[in-house]
Copies of this chain bind each other. A is one copy, B any other.
Amino acid sequence: MRISNEKMGIAMKRVMMKVAYEGTAYCGWQVQPNGLSVEEVLNTALSELLGEDIKVIGASRTDAGVHARGNIAVFDTEASIPGDKISFALNQRLPDDIVIQGSREVAADFHPRHCESEKTYEYRILNTTFNDPIRRNFTHFYYVPLDVSLMREGASYLVGEHDFSSFCAPKTQVNSFVRNIIAIDIFKEEEEIVIRIKGNGFLYNMVRIIAGTLIEVGRGMIEPAGVKAILEAKDRTKAGPTAPARGLTLMNIELI
């Protein structure tokens, strides 16, 4: 597919894209001095495609190894190519592990991190005796049998608006540790335990620390009611470990 790079005197427009990627090979979303990021790959491919210096703004700056089915990125361009055609043209220039799922023009002042949104993450635990090579990059293999009903009971204390200091990586600088978890669903899909969390904002490593804590609950090391005590302690050292990145996928960002 040939795309014309000629400027046709058209004014600047802002384009929003839905971005899916396997995070295994990347140092995360955000540009880093050491390692290739998803953001950098998008900037390079878009700049080549559109003949401009493009810098995308991501809604969620996912960590190294974390996957996305629906992250959001926006960028500004003067190019004449219609916003909804950019996904198809850009996919021709992207590596196999990043695929744009759609694109469209949005308001010039739309910013994906300064708007109301609901994010849904899934954390997948492969709870079997042996790892599955086909799912190894997309699930956290954990061979100690976990009790899903205990995990559900523990998770119930996290739903709602709380100070999540205990579930945030140390030294994170934010104005407030209060976040609102709208729902946590925990269910089994064959041998996988899926923790689906929906909220309107998450602290650094929050979903992975929740997953790591609920695994401790599921194996009987923490009582379900202990999750309430951990929350109230506002102390990261009281919660469980940060579960590995590979089990985490940003499923969807709903703009509200």
Interface residue ranges, A against B (CB under 8 Å): 20-22, 67, 69, 87, 91, 96-102, 129-134, 136, 138, 249
Contact = CB atoms under 8 A, between A and B. Distances in A.
Contacts of A249: 134
A134 B100 contact: no
Nearest to A141: B99
Contact of A138 (B100, B130, B134): B134
A67 B130 CA distance: 16
A132 B91 CA distance: 12
Contacts of A136: 22, 96-97, 99
A19 to B, nearest CB: 10
26 contacts: A20-B130, A20-B133, A20-B134, A21-B133, A22-B133, A22-B134, A22-B136, A67-B133, A67-B134, A69-B132, A69-B134, A91-B130, A96-B131, A96-B133, A96-B136, A98-B133, A99-B130, A99-B132, A99-B136, A100-B130, A101-B129, A101-B130, A102-B129, A102-B130, A134-B138, A134-B249
A132 B101 CA distance: 8
Contact of A133 (B99, B130, B131, B133): B99
A130 B87 contact: yes
A249 B97 CA distance: 21
Contacts of A21: 133
Nearest to A136: B96
Contacts of A129: 101-102
A49 to B, nearest CB: 17
